[in-house]
């Protein structure tokens, strides 16, 4: 159980020395002080999940409650999917640092992210202001391991065009870090494990002559190891072969299949494989999904309704035991620094529709490079339709940006109904092993696993169309 004693112990840790920054060289992460290879051993962390979105790094009572459990697990990294950039995060970031824990942070919010429906419009100066303000808030902490510019934005075979605008965001983030003289924190993308385009996405985000437009790290949300599987049966061996020769660090940004359990719990036997010499030459660890028990039944701990008490579940004990008995590979683990960048995938209608020519950054956003992002707007700032307010739309020649918001919303409303119904009849696992919608009414990767249908059983398009259409970078 969570206790005041644990809080006091965590507070005492805050006075300890800061962690060294982690950087990337070749296809691995490295400790900038010791020169040792760094493996991500972590969990995905967003207590409250979809039903009660809360910034866990802005509330000391939350992070201080949970840090002792991170320490029990023996992890060194957490991933947080959404924060409020208008809040102060000093206390929690220092406490994490003192506990030896790094942060991978997604820079998007439910209302400010790249849209699957109209990616060109959602990429605008207001959106970038929100992203840059998040960078401003976290850039000073050495225990920020990296930023994710998007999470599962490409989640099917028919929305690969969104990659163009995610890659433009990567470019703008990296240029902003340089312009503001911040530490060059790695910027990456977290991909759904969609069989038809997962490697195309890896290639696309790591190709091209513009170094700023190439990601520094690539995360894969992978749920292919279920139960007492094996390196071969799970498909891990195939993925090692698939990504062999990839020139930047790659890791499992989510893992932990829950469709096969033993005595009601996940075994997490994949941990031994993840940190084996077989995988270390390609992969740099992973993040187990997820810390808190939510409606989708992936939790390691149960948090009481009042938020005061934490009870560890069998999943927690199993993951802890697997992590504690599994060491990192010795030496550099087979890391390579001489691989070449990827070749850009060729445009092919219906297969890969991202453009290798990126849109220019919206002109109105250029002022942030010299003056900073300004006042952070927090999680309530909706930016998806702000292209209509831009003096210079990044994709003004695109006809999708020329019609009215009202017309677009109506089109989205009509298409959502048919797409949701069709999704309900198909298994999300058929296209991707990273589906986490167990327990949802519809197995469709919509932000925060939104439930389809209201109190009266009808499709609540009018009330939730914006969230359904645009909350694409935060499927948690």
pLDDT at residue 96 is higher than 80: yes
pLDDT at 433: 42
pLDDT at residue 397 is higher than 60: no
Mean pLDDT of the chain: 84
pLDDT at 472: 43
pLDDT at 183: 98
In whole angstroms, give the CA distance from residue 137 to residue 372: 11
Predicted confidence (pLDDT) per residue in 400-419, tens digit: 333 333 333 433 333 333 33
Predicted confidence (pLDDT) per residue in 288-324, tens digit: 999 999 999 999 999 999 999 999 999 999 999 999 9
In whole angstroms, give the CA distance from residue 471 to residue 111: 6
Domains and CATH numbers, the chain: 4-325 (3.20.20.80)
Predicted confidence (pLDDT) per residue in 325-363, tens digit: 999 999 999 999 999 999 999 999 999 999 999 999 999
pLDDT at 128: 98
Give the predicted TM-score (pTM) of the model.
Answer: 0.83
Say which of 71, 211, 254, 363 is annotated catalytic.
254
Q: Across residues 23-40, what is the average pLDDT?
A: 98
Closest CA to 38 of 51, 21, 60, 56: 21
Say which of 152, 270, 290, 322 is annotated catalytic.
152
pLDDT at 356: 96
Predicted confidence (pLDDT) per residue in 140-190, tens digit: 999 999 999 999 999 999 999 999 999 999 999 999 999 999 999 999 999
pLDDT at residue 462 is higher than 60: no
Is beta strand 217-221 parallel, antiparallel or unpaired with respect to 310-312? Answer: unpaired
pLDDT at 418: 31
pLDDT at residue 19 is higher than 90: yes
The answer to whether residues 372 and 136 touch, using CB atoms and an 8 Å cutoff, is yes
In whole angstroms, give the CA distance from residue 318 to residue 332: 27
pLDDT at 401: 36
Q: Where are the alpha helices (DSSP H) in 147-248?
A: 163-179, 198-204, 236-243
**Confidence class of residue 393 from pLDDT cuts 50, 70 and 90?**
very low
Catalytic, 152? Answer yes
Residue 340 backbone zone (phi > 0: left; psi -120 to 50: alpha; other: beta): beta
Q: Where are the alpha helices (DSSP H) in 328-401?
A: 367-371
Range of weakest confidence among 138-152, 248-262, 425-439: 425-439
Predicted confidence (pLDDT) per residue in 368-383, tens digit: 999 999 999 999 899 9
pLDDT at residue 227 is higher than 50: yes
Closest CA to 360 of 231, 108, 194, 175: 175
Higher pLDDT, 458 or 178: 178
pLDDT at 16: 54
Catalytic, 203? Answer no
pLDDT at 52: 78
């Amino acid at each position: 159980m969570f206790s005041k004693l644990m809080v006091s112990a965590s507070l005492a840790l805050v006075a300890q020395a800061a962690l060294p920054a982690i950087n990337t060289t070749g296809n691995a992460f490295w400790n900038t002080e010791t020169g040792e290879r760094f493996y991500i051993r972590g969990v995905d962390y967003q207590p409250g999940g979809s039903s009660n979105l809360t910034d866990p790094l802005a509330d000391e009572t939350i992070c201080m409650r949970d840090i002792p459990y991170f320490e029990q697990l023996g992890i060194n990294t957490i991933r947080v999917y959404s924060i409020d950039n208008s809040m102060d995060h000093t206390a929690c970031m220092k406490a994490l640092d003192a506990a030896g824990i790094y942060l991978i942070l997604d820079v998007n919010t439910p209302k400010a992210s790249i849209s699957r429906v109209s990616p060109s419009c959602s990429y605008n100066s207001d959106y970038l202001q929100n992203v840059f303000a998040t960078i401003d808030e976290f850039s000073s902490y050495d225990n920020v391991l990296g930023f994710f510019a998007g999470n599962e934005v490409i989640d099917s075979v028919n929305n690969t065009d969104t990659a163009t605008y995610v890659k433009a965001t990567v470019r703008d983030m990296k240029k902003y870090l340089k312009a503001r003289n911040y530490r060059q924190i790695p910027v990456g993308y977290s991909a759904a494990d969609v069989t038809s385009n997962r490697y195309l996405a890896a290639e696309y985000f790591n190709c091209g002559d513009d170094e700023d437009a190439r990601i520094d790290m690539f995360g894969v949300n992978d749920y292919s190891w279920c139960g007492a599987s094996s390196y071969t049966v799970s498909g891990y061996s195939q993925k090692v072969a698939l990504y062999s020769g990839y020139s930047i660090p790659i890791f499992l940004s989510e893992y932990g299949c829950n469709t096969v359990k033993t005595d009601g719990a996940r075994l997490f036997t994949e941990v031994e494989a993840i940190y084996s010499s077989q995988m270390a030459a390609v992969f740099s660890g992973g993040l187990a999904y997820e810390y808190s028990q939510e409606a989708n039944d992936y939790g390691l701990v149960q948090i009481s309704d009042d938020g005061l008490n934490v009870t560890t579940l069998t999943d927690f004990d199993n993951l802890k035991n697997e992590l504690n008995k599994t060491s990192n590979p010795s030496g550099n683990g087979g890391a390579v620094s001489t691989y070449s960048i990827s070749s850009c995938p060729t445009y092919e209608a219906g297969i890969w529709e991202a453009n290798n020519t990126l849109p220019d950054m919206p002109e109105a956003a250029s002022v942030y490079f010299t003056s900073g992002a300004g006042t952070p707007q927090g999680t309530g700032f909706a930016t998806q339709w702000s292209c209509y307010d831009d003096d210079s739309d990044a994709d003004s020649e695109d006809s999708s940006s020329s019609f009215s918001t009202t017309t677009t919303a109506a089109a989205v409303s009509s298409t959502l109904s048919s797409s949701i119904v069709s999704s309900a009849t198909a298994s999300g696992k058929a296209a991707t092993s990273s589906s986490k919608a167990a327990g949802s009414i519809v197995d469709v990767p919509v932000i925060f696993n939104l439930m389809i249908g209201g109190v009266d059983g009808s499709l609540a398009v009018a009330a939730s169309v914006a969230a359904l259409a645009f909350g694409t970078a935060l499927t948690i």
